[in-house]
Structure formats: C-alpha cells, structure tokens
C-alpha cells in the first residue's frame, strides 16, 4: 500500500456520526475522501462535508459524497488535508495545488485538524523544499512585488504547466506568486507581513494550527503520529 493511502485510510477512522468534515485537496487527501465515501455508503454514516477547493468538490461529487458549501455552515468538526512541508513544530507549507486560501478557511474554522503526509514531507525547517505560495489579486501582480521583496522574498508567477497558456488561475480567480525566502527567516513575522500586504488574498504558511493538529506520517511499516 502507498504511504499516502495508509494515512488517508487512518484519518478516515476519525470521522464520527454527525460530524461536519472539511475535505482537503491533493493526492493524499483524495485517499481520505475515497475511504470516507466508502464508509458513508457501507456504514450508512451520516456526515456533512465541506470542500476546500473546486478540485475536491468535483471528486466528492464523483464519489457520491454530497457537500455543504462553506457558506452554509459555521462549524467544521474535523478537517483532513495533506501538506507540502511539515516542520517538527507542526508548521506547514501548503498550496502546491493552489488551494491554500480555501484550505486555510477550513483549517481556521475546524475543531480538529488531521494533517496526512508521507515521510518525504517532513523537513527540519520550513522552506527547504518548497517556496511559499501567495495568492494575489490579478491587478496586484506588479504592485505587490516590492512589498514581498521588502520582506526578503523572491516572487515568481506560477505558470500553468500545460493545457492553458499563461498563469495558474485559482478557484477565486486570482494568481499565485511562489515566493522563495532566504534560509530560516522569522516565519511568524513573514506570516504577518504577507497578510498585511494589500493585494495579497492569502498564503500557504500554516503556522497557527499546531495545537489542534495531529500529523499522521505514512511510512512503509505503517503510520506514526508526529508528537
């Protein structure tokens, strides 16, 4: 079994009758969603689900999982999602799938956050493997750059890899700058600094959710919980 599948299956065990469940985006979260869909059908489990992105909403529909839109609920009991990097302090970088704004909405709202990753996502320090994705209003594409550079970042517009010319456009109609920072910056200051820039809609640094997070790490021998 794939390591991503292991954690997806494990996280699905945490879903209980009557919960409002946030569905993450990406290949690991897809394993969770498929297993949840199976439990809903086979165990006649009654849960309400909220999608973090258009991609996972399409997948939920294909799996026969009915959805609440995010504006129809004021509570998320459990949110399960993958990540691109996980630090020992349970800080995350998310957004390779360009869905971090919808994902952060659910991470902020949820009572419990289960992060599901394979071992390759664990890093000693954030930013070692991935840049920080920053979602910006299209009109801000030039004007926001000096502000990001003043924070020490090097922004690069994310381009669509195929099938579309030009930049990736998010579910919210915005663009993404992938921002590289010099090694080991003050991530909390950057979190606040990015949030404060006009034109920035959101970003993929998830630093505030460690307390309510359980990180499940898949490895060939099974699943371990990051303490």
Spell out, one character per residue from 4 to 33, where the chain touches ligand 5RP: x when CB under 6 A holds, - when not.
Answer: --------------------xxxxxx----
Can you give the three-state secondary structure of 186-202, one letter per residue? Answer: CHHHHHHHHHCCCCEEE
Q: Count the residues of the shown chain that bind ligand 5RP, applying the rule CB under 6 A.
A: 18
Question: Is 149 marked active-site?
Answer: no
Q: What span, in angstroms and rounded, lies between the C-alpha atoms of 90 and 119?
A: 14
Q: What span, in angstroms and rounded, lies between the C-alpha atoms of 161 and 167?
A: 9
Spell out, one character per residue from 88 to 107, where the chain touches ligand 5RP: x when CB under 6 A holds, - when not.
Answer: ------xxxxxxx--x----
In sequence order, what are the residues at sequence separation of 6 or more whose Cβ sits closer than 8 angstroms to the Cβ of residue 67?
Answer: 49, 50, 51, 57, 60, 61
Name which of 83 and 215 has its Cβ closer to ligand 5RP.
83
Closest approach of Cβ 82 to ligand 5RP, in Å? Answer: 3
**Given the residues 103, 108, 124, 135, the one annotated as active site:** 103
Q: Are the C-beta atoms of residues 121 and 220 closer than 8 Å to each other? A: no
Q: What is the CA radius of gyration of the chain?
A: 17
Kindly tell me the number of DSSP H helices and DSSP E strands found in the chain: 6, 14
Site for ligand 5RP in 146-175 (CB under 6 A): none
Name which of 45 and 67 has its Cβ closer to ligand 5RP.
67
Any idea what DSSP says for residue 167?
Answer: B
Binding region for ligand 5RP (CB under 6 A) out of 7-15, 40-48, 77-85, 142-150: 77-85
What positions carry a catalytic annotation? 103
- Contact residues for ligand 5RP (CB under 6 A)? 24-29, 81-84, 94-100, 103
């Amino acid at each position: 079994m794939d390591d991503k599948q292991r954690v997806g299956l494990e996280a699905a065990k945490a879903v209980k009758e009557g919960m409002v469940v946030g569905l993450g985006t990406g290949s690991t979260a897809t394993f969770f969603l498929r297993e949840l869909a199976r439990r809903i059908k086979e165990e006649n489990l009654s849960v309400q689900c909220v999608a973090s992105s258009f991609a996972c909403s399409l997948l939920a529909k294909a799996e026969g999982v009915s959805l609440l839109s995010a504006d129809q609920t004021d509570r998320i009991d459990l949110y399960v999602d993958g990540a691109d990097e996980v630090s020992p302090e349970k800080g995350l970088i998310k957004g390779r799938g360009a869905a971090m704004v919808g994902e952060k909405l659910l991470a902020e709202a949820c009572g419990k956050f289960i992060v599901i990753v394979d071992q390759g996502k664990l890093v000693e320090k954030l930013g070692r493997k991935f840049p920080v994705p920053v979602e910006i209003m299209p009109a801000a594409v030039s004007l926001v750059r000096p502000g990001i550079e003043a924070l020490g970042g090097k922004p690069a517009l994310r381009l669509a890899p195929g099938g579309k010319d030009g930049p990736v456009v998010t579910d919210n109609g915005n663009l993404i700058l992938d921002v590289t920072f010099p090694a080991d910056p003050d991530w909390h200051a950057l979190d606040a600094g990015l949030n404060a820039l006009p034109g920035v809609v959101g970003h993929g640094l998830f630093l505030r959710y460690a307390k309510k997070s359980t990180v499940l790490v898949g490895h060939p021998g099974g699943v371990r919980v990051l303490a």
